[in-house]
């Protein structure tokens, strides 16, 4: 991604942390807590979140205290979120849009025969 032509802003949230509001926004864009939950984290296992993820607000508060509860990396493109390493999603994001096919010209109407 760093070598692509995309403009990206990288945030090392392992060092800087994330606010509860930011986490809730990420969860909303991803569609669910389960989509962004690091299921290998001890807290997620201990609290049973692997099989039954918590509400977004509860999760956001926990992530504000320990960002490792989030899967990494998280890539946000407008309202779309890619969570974890997802090569096909990255390729789709970096692919140049295909040009739209030119419309076929309409056939010229045949002249009416003279009477």
What band does 34 get if pLDDT is binned at 50, 70 and 90?
Answer: very high
Which of the two residues, 50 and 83, has the higher pLDDT score?
Answer: 50
pLDDT in tens, 10-24: 778 888 889 999 999
Helix/strand/coil (H/E/C) assignment for every residue in the chain:
CCCCCCCCCCCCHHHHCCCHHHHHHHHHHHCCCCCCECCCCHHHHHCCCCCCCCCHHHHHHHHHHCHHHECCCEEEECCEEEECCCHHHHHHHHCCCCCCCCCCCCCCCCCCCCC
What is the predicted pLDDT for the residue at 50?
A: 96
Neighbours of 44 (CB within 10 A): 21
pLDDT in tens, 82-91: 888 888 888 8
Which of the two residues, 103 and 3, has the higher pLDDT score?
Answer: 103
């Amino acid at each position: 991604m760093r070598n692509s032509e995309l403009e990206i802003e990288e945030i090392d949230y392992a060092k800087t942390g994330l606010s509860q509001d930011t986490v809730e926004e990420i969860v909303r864009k991803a569609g669910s807590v389960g989509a962004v939950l690091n299921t290998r984290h001890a807290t997620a296992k201990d609290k049973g979140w692997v099989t039954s993820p918590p509400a977004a607000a509860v999760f956001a508060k926990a992530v504000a205290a320990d960002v490792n509860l989030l899967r990494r990396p998280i890539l946000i493109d407008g309202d779309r979120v890619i969570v974890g390493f997802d090569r096909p999603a990255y390729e789709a994001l970096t692919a140049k849009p295909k040009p739209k096919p030119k419309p076929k010209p309409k056939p010229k109407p045949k002249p009416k025969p003279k009477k």
